[in-house]
């Protein structure tokens, strides 16, 4: 009988609590409904949202990639609310609970990134610990602190400084191309002279060696020593799957909880590794008076005020510290390890699928190197205009970051064009600049999905609509290291294409399917291509 009485008591309690549970559920749903009316109250069209996941359902369930999701937002198909139309210059969506405004017009991009930069000068704040190295990077810094450090760092990435770094980069390019050439020579007869290779791994190892030698002063050979600590650490911090993916999701959903749990954006192990590595390098160079023409040396000179003229400023300048150097070095590694290697991978993929473009590039490389006496130098790379066109078109089709954000620093009105009421944005609002969408918009780019390097020729590049090409960002917050990234990609491609011809193979991703994991634009299943020695 005891069990019967217990069951009856539990049943009675359940019925007693049922109205309260129903009321709580109704309150939650009502709050969600009111929250999701955010854009309707602002007079902006928006994508419908579901409780808790917002407009991110497909992305959260990995049914689409971030670049494809960005293209969907930019296309504005399926928006509802006021002024819901295909030409709406601003549309809203919900990144889980956070409302985000997507900019869909070149004139507005100019306003946000240039004309009214003071209103949109920061990225959204990262919920990092005060001592987290990434929180000291230029990407994460805000307001005055960002402005001062940007001014101090800018002279480190001029054309003259890139010339000084060229030999370090070229040595890594020669090392990687020699590895590829050797593998091609060792092929068995049944391979028909084609060596199949996953180029993402190949170019990531090259990028790792470049960053190690040019930013940290560490000599690496990721082809001869494939499991070196530097390479393994790079794979760790750029992997957003598993537990690390959950941590990144927590940073987005519950930033205050992430800080409370003392979670690190990089991870404790990576943070300690870079601190130790850079601290030892700085101490050794100071003690022994070592000079090495690399990025670390340039940052030391910026710290000491010996790098370029100081920008005129009425306020006292913020001192650059060793911690700041560590933060920039980590950002350099974080960005360069993955994004530059993806640029090289997509370039090779497109060249393999367009043999006429590859043949033209082969001819240009051969002519430029021969004109330099058979030796690749900085000036020879600078003369390769078609190489620059190929990389520019690759970055248009496959920008490493599909979108970047800006935070509104103070209340502002944006003019939306004739016949539309101005949009009122408030302090703290977050905007998305959909790079992938703008660079594939048929309003600005004829045949937007076609690979056509001629768009960037001297005869045609003046036709490019202003503020529609922004693979490195726009305005004062444009990527500071874009010169370095392009030089690195050019050197790698020249060394590789000087030796081999690229061809598609059975495992080549055709048509291109984009990876549904991670934050960068990448190929699902890797970048498999064939390489054959040039006769």
Known binding-site residue numbers for heme: 479
Q: Give, in degrees to the nearest 5, the angle at Cα 214 between 282 and 164.
A: 105
Supply the Cα-derived Rg of the chain in whole angstroms. Answer: 26
Decide: residue 179, CB within 10 A, 0-12 exposed, 13-18 middle, 19+ buried: middle
- Residue ranges of the annotated binding site are 479
Please work out, in degrees rounded to the nearest 5, the angle formed at the alpha carbon of residue 219 by the alpha carbons of 216 and 222.
Answer: 110
Alpha-carbon distance 184 to 186, whole Å? Answer: 5
Element (H or E) spanning 176, and its range? Answer: helix 159-185
Q: What are phi and psi of 117, to 5 degrees?
A: -55, -35
Sign of CA dihedral 34, 39, 43, 48: negative
* Alpha carbon 270 to its chain's center: 19
**Distance, CA of 137 to CA of 150 (rounded, Å):** 10
**Helices 341-353/385-397 angle, 10° precision:** 100
Report d(CA 66, CA 265) in Å as an integer.
20
Q: What span, in angstroms and rounded, lies between the C-alpha atoms of 405 and 412?
A: 17
CA distance 31 to 45: 20
- Alpha-carbon span 404 to 64, nearest angstrom: 18
d(CA 275, CA 270): 9
| Cβ–Cβ under 8 Å, residues 48 and 55 | yes
Burial of 10 (0-12, 13-18, 19+ CB in 10 A): exposed
Give the DSSP H or E segment for 64: none
CA distance 186 to 135: 47
Q: What is the DSSP string of 396-459?
A: HHS-SBS-EEEE--S-EEE---TTSPPEEE-TT-EEEE-HHHHTT-TTTSSSTTS--GGGGSTT
Tell me the C-alpha distance between 109 and 92, whole Å. 16
Q: Do the bridges between strand 195-198 and strand 430-433 make them parallel or antiparallel, or are there none, so unpaired? A: unpaired
Strand partners, 99: 94
State the residue for tokens 């969907």: 72
Residue with tokens 């941590």: 247
Distance CA 394, CA 390 (A): 6
């Amino acid at each position: 009988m005891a069990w019967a009485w217990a069951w009856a008591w539990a049943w009675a309690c359940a019925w007693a609590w049922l109205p309260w549970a129903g009321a709580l559920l109704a309150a939650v749903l009502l709050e969600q409904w009111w929250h999701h009316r955010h854009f309707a109250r602002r007079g902006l069209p928006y994508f419908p949202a579901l409780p808790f996941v917002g407009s991110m359902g497909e992305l959260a369930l990995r049914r689409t990639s971030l670049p494809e999701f960005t293209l969907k937002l930019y296309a504005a198909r399926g928006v509802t609310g006021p002024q819901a139309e295909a030409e709406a210059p601003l549309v809203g969506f919900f990144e889980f609970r956070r409302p985000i405004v997507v900019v869909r017009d070149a004139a507005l991009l100019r306003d946000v990134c240039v004309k009214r930069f003071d209103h949109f000068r920061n990225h959204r704040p990262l919920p990092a610990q005060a001592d987290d190295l990434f929180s000291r990077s230029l990407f994460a810094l805000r307001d005055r602190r960002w402005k001062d450090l940007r001014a101090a760092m800018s002279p480190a990435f001029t054309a003259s400084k890139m010339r000084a770094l060229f030999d370090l980069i070229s040595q890594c390019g020669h090392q990687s191309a020699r590895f590829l050439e050797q593998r091609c020579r060792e092929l068995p007869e049944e391979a028909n002279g084609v060596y199949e290779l996953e180029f993402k791994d190949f170019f990531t190892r090259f990028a790792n060696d470049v960053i190690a030698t040019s930013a940290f002063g560490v000599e690496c050979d990721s082809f001869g020593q494939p499991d070196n600590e530097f390479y393994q650490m790079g794979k760790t911090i750029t992997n957003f799957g598993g537990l690390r993916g959950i941590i990144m999701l927590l940073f987005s959903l519950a930033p205050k909880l992430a800080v409370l749990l003392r979670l690190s954006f990089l991870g404790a192990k990576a943070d300690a590794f870079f601190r130790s590595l850079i601290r030892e390098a700085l101490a050794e160079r100071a003690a022994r008076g070592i000079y090495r023409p690399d990025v670390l040396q340039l940052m030391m000179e910026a710290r000491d005020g010996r790098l370029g003229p100081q920008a005129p400023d009425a306020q006292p300048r913020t001192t650059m510290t060793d911690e700041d150097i560590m933060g920039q070095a980590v950002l350099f590694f974080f960005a360069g390890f993955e994004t530059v290697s993806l640029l090289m991978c997509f370039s090779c993929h497109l060249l393999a699928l367009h043999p006429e473009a590859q043949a033209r590039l082969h001819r240009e490389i051969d002519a430029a190197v021969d004109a330099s006496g058979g030796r690749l130098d900085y000036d020879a790379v600078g003369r390769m205009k078609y190489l620059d066109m190929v990389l520019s078109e690759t970055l248009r089709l496959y920008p490493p970051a599909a979108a970047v954000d800006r935070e509104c620093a103070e209340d502002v009105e944006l003019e939306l064009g004739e016949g539309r009421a101005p949009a009122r944005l408030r302090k703290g609002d977050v905007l998305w600049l959909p790079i992938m969408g703008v660079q594939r918009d048929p309003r600005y780019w004829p045949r937007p999905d076609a690979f056509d390097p001629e768009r960037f020729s001297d005869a045609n590049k003046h036709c490019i609509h202003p503020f529609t090409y922004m693979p490195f960002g726009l305005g004062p917050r444009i990527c500071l290291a874009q010169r370095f990234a392009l030089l690195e990609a050019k050197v790698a491609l020249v060394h590789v294409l000087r030796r081999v011809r690229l061809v598609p193979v059975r495992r080549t991703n055709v048509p291109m399917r984009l990876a549904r994991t991670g934050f960068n634009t990448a190929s699902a299943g890797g970048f498999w291509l064939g390489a054959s020695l040039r006769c």
